[in-house]
Amino acid sequence: MGGTLRSRNRRNIDDTHDVSGASSRAGIESLTLDTPTSDIEIYAKEVLHALIADNLPPTPNNFSLYFDRLLEEKSENLRKQIHSMLELEESNDAENTILLEQSLKQGFGSIKNILNVTANLYKNMSLMTKILDKRKRELGEKPEIQEAVGIVATLEGDVSKLNSILKTQSSQMKGIYDETAKIIKNVEHETIFDNQFGVYNKRYLLRKVEQEIKLLNEFKHKSSLIMIELCRDLRKSVKNDKAIILMTRTIARLLLKTSRRSDIVAHYGNGVFSMLLKHTDIESAKKASERLIDLVSNSNFFLADREIQLKISIGVTSIESTSSVEEIIVNAMDGIEKAYSHKDTDYSVTLRSAK
């Protein structure tokens, strides 16, 4: 296991005299000219001060990151007050995209159901044609009811015409379905949401890690990545695929519950989840991992009359500006493997090897 990175010392709002440059000091001082009228205003100014003190531009994205990060250190009353206000805000673009993806897939599912119903209707009409033909032959064997044979022949012609129309419409419906399937397939290449577990997908995670590497090159802050999976020993002992899926979904919900708004929770694949912790050094990532382990271990799962204590293994690594996305992912996955070999902990840190 590699060593840990030194934690960044975040300046207090009152330590503004440490900021270099007259323009920076003037900017900070100008923020305090007006007396804040509410706790939220006081907190917003503190977030802005922290950004400037850490030499980060106060962009909306950075402000949001620090807004969430600093809030963890505030009183429970202030956290509840701010969270209640945040719940009233509209969904962000990513959430809107997720809703759109879900609507598209639901629409595609409806079209598929229509095609299935149409196909069954066509099969039933074909069956009806065969039944009429059989009855016609049976009546033909009885000369005394030739009039009935003529009626059946007329009915057979009508059904045949209807069957032909239905066959054409069914073919058109299949063409529409195939075109829609191609559209949905193209959309899936750009999706960001994992429907099975209700979190972001691997594609979105890799894109965000790549973006974070570029931001690290620009602003020199620290971020971390953790990979999480349901303990393998637990999966082996359960031996029930449906139960394992349900337990994995429970893990996903707990990850969302404990994550900050700025964290990216994603399903990497095969039941392995990942959390991108922006502006979080290794020590903070380790603490976050410990909180996750405690939260999961206190969440029991019931399988029939059996109570199962959930358990996870976590790999932790730093996001380095000189590493590739693949190297960062491999380091985090290596951390999971090391966690299994350590009997005294359920997580392990793997840092980039010196080159």
DSSP string for residues in 86-118: HTTSPP-HHHHHHHHHHHHHHHHHHHHHHHHHH
Same domain, 343 and 213: yes
- The beta strand positions in the chain, using DSSP E, are 193-194, 199-200, 223-230, 264-269, 272-277, 300-303, 306-309, 312-319, 347-349
Q: Give the per-residue pLDDT at 244.
A: 94
Q: Is residue 108 part of a domain?
A: yes
Same domain, 303 and 343: yes
Q: Give the per-residue pLDDT at 138.
A: 76
Q: Give the per-residue pLDDT at 82.
A: 84
Same domain, 38 and 106: no
Same domain, 321 and 238: yes
The CATH number for 115's domain is 1.10.287
Same domain, 153 and 179: yes
Q: Is residue 355 part of a domain?
A: no
Q: Give the per-residue pLDDT at 166.
A: 77
Last residue of a domain, one of 156, 188, 220: 188
Q: Give the per-residue pLDDT at 107.
A: 79
Q: Give the per-residue pLDDT at 200.
A: 95
pLDDT tens digit sequence for 55-69: 888 888 889 889 988
127 is written with which tokens? 């069956």
Same domain, 165 and 199: no
Q: How far apart are CA 29 and CA 323, in angstroms?
A: 39
Same domain, 33 and 131: no
Q: Give the per-residue pLDDT at 143.
A: 66
- CA distances (Å), 103 to each of 183, 195, 303, in order? 14, 12, 33
Q: How far apart are CA 227 and CA 335, in angstroms?
A: 8
Same domain, 174 and 239: no
Q: Give the per-residue pLDDT at 175.
A: 84
Beta bridge partners of 73: none
Q: Give the per-residue pLDDT at 255.
A: 96
Same domain, 106 and 81: no
The CATH number for 283's domain is 3.30.70.270
* Domain total of the chain: 3
Indicate yes or no: pTM above 0.75.
Answer: no
Same domain, 162 and 294: no
Q: Reduce the DSSP state of residue 83 to 3 states and report it.
A: helix
Same domain, 24 and 142: no
CB–CB of 205/268 below 8 Å?
Answer: yes
* Enclosing domain of residue 164: 93-188
pLDDT tens digit sequence for 167-200: 787 788 788 778 877 877 777 777 899 989 999 9
Q: Is residue 104 part of a domain?
A: yes
Same domain, 160 and 228: no
Last residue of a domain, one of 188, 207, 228: 188
Q: Show the low-confidence residues of the chain (pLDDT under 70).
A: 1-37, 87-95, 143-144, 146, 353-355
Q: How far apart are CA 307 and CA 179, in angstroms?
A: 48
